[in-house]
């Protein structure tokens, strides 16, 4: 079983991942945990990402992609895994597709935990208060300001993955606002109804999905996506074949223009 859990910070990905680990005997691969461990150990990578994480921004794609690729190659991931916190950008999702194809494996499902953002902030604030009351150390990015930035990063860079995986045909959405046990049951439900043969998108579909899923859905990116969609139009060849003729009619050749000037 190979899964991705998708959802904003505080959506309950970690909690649900633990259920799935127990249920299927697969490993949870949390890029957040891996990066925090590197920061704690003071490795070169940890020094590179420490400040970025404390700010609530995303770490560079190449750094995260490398650690995931190394982790997936470990023997304990052979039976299956749950990716929690990865991919977080379309570039990471594309890198993951390439990585899995190289190893001849495919994802079974991408589970989106749908949540209400206002309630989410409350949830995380409660979690912080509870941890503080237990005297537990907080993560440097567990404060309301940074949390807002983490949510913004999710909205701008990660939410486009919902469209990306929907196009792949492997997105399954569940209501993440329900009680923990209900969310776990809903995930169980979508997994048993998931197609046993994951549908792999053709590369052209992947490219189009990536285009359409690009963050900043302003007019510019829409226009770009439309242009890309138009390219494979079967009549395009005919139209361009007609072009030189009509242009010749509308505009005399440079030779003819030069001759006219001489006259
Ligand atoms: P959250 O509690 O917001 O879900 P995580 O524990 O998954 O956060 O990650 C914490 C921080 O680690 C992120 O804010 C980001 O700086 C970094 N990080 C984790 N995963 C990724 C990733 N896939 N790409 C880039 N940065 C990441």
pLDDT of 232 strictly over 70: no
> Measured between alpha carbons, how far is 116 from 178 in angstroms, rounded to an integer?
11
120-124, 131-135, 239-243: range with lowest mean pLDDT = 239-243
| Cβ-based neighbours of 94, under 8 Å, separated by 6 or more | 206, 210
> Measured between alpha carbons, how far is 251 from 246 in angstroms, rounded to an integer?
8
pLDDT of 205 strictly over 70: no
C-alpha closest to that of 32 among 8, 64, 1, 66 = 64
- CA of 31 relative to ligand 1 center, distance in Å: 6
Mean pLDDT, residues 96-104 taken together:
93
What CATH number does domain 2-219 carry, 3.90.105.20, 3.30.420.130, 3.40.50.300, 3.40.50.720?
Answer: 3.40.50.300
The ranges assigned to domains in the chain are: 2-219
User: What is residue 68's predicted lDDT score, i.e. its pLDDT?
Assistant: 95
47-61, 103-117, 240-254: range with lowest mean pLDDT = 240-254
pLDDT of 208 strictly over 50: no
pLDDT of 8 strictly over 80: yes
3-state secondary structure of 17: helix
> Measured between alpha carbons, how far is 79 from 26 in angstroms, rounded to an integer?
6
What atom of ligand 1 comes closest to residue 154's alpha carbon? Answer: 3
> Measured between alpha carbons, how far is 233 from 157 in angstroms, rounded to an integer?
30
The answer to whether residues 214 and 90 touch, using CB atoms and an 8 Å cutoff, is yes
What atom of ligand 1 comes closest to residue 60's alpha carbon? Answer: 25
The answer to whether residues 92 and 64 touch, using CB atoms and an 8 Å cutoff, is yes
User: What is residue 138's predicted lDDT score, i.e. its pLDDT?
Assistant: 81
User: What is residue 140's predicted lDDT score, i.e. its pLDDT?
Assistant: 80
User: What is residue 212's predicted lDDT score, i.e. its pLDDT?
Assistant: 45
Residues with CB under 6 A from ligand 1: 9, 31-32, 35, 52-53, 56-59, 64, 85-86, 88, 92, 141, 150
Mean pLDDT, residues 36-52 taken together:
94
Going by their DSSP bridges, the two strands 81-84 and 109-114 should be labelled as unpaired
Mean pLDDT, residues 212-239 taken together:
37
- CA of 49 relative to ligand 1 center, distance in Å: 10
User: What is residue 65's predicted lDDT score, i.e. its pLDDT?
Assistant: 95
pLDDT of 229 strictly over 90: no
- CA of 194 relative to ligand 1 center, distance in Å: 27
pLDDT of 89 strictly over 70: yes
Pocket mutation for ligand 1, best pick of 8, 29, 37, 59 (most atoms within 8 Å of C-beta)? 59
Mean pLDDT, residues 258-263 taken together:
50
3-state secondary structure of 176: coil
Identify the H or E element spanning 82: strand 81-84
Question: pLDDT of 158-198, one tens digit each?
Answer: 999 999 999 999 999 999 999 999 999 999 999 988 554 44
Alpha helices by DSSP H, listed for 103-159, are 117-133, 144-153
Mean pLDDT, residues 63-81 taken together:
93
Pocket mutation for ligand 1, best pick of 35, 63, 151, 154 (most atoms within 8 Å of C-beta)? 35
User: In the structure, what pLDDT confidence band is assigned to residue 118 with cuts at 50, 70 and 90?
Assistant: confident
Mean pLDDT, residues 101-114 taken together:
94
Strand partners, 34: none
Mean pLDDT of the chain: 79
Longest dimension (CA), the chain: 95
- The percentage of the chain sitting over the pLDDT mark of 90, rounded to a whole number, equals 57
């Amino acid at each position: 079983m190979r899964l991705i859990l998708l959802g904003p910070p505080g959506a309950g990905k970690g909690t649900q991942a633990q259920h799935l680990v127990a249920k299927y005997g697969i490993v949870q691969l949390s890029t957040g945990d891996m990066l925090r461990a590197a920061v704690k150990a003071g490795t070169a990578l940890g020094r590179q990402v420490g400040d970025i994480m404390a700010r609530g921004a995303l770490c560079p794609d190449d750094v995260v992609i490398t650690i995931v690729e190394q982790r997936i190659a470990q023997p304990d991931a052979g039976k299956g895994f749950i990716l929690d916190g990865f991919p977080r950008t379309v570039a990471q999702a594309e890198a993951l597709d390439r990585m899995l194809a190289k190893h001849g494996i495919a994802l079974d499902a991408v589970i989106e935990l749908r949540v209400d953002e206002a309630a989410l902030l409350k949830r995380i604030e409660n979690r912080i208060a509870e941890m503080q009351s237990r005297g537990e150390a907080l993560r440097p990015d567990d404060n309301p300001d940074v949390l807002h930035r983490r949510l913004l990063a999710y909205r701008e860079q990660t939410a486009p993955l919902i469209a990306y995986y929907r196009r792949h045909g492997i997105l399954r959405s569940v209501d993440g606002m329900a009680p923990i046990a209900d969310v776990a049951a809903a995930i169980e439900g979508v997994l048993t109804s998931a197609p046993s043969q994951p549908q792999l998108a053709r590369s052209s579909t992947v490219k189009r999905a990536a285009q359409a899923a690009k963050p900043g859905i302003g007019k510019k990116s829409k226009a770009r996506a439309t242009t890309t969609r138009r390219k494979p139009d079967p009549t395009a060849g005919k139209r361009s074949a007609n072009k030189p003729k009509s242009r010749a009619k509308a505009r005399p050749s440079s030779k003819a223009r030069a001759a006219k000037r001489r006259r």
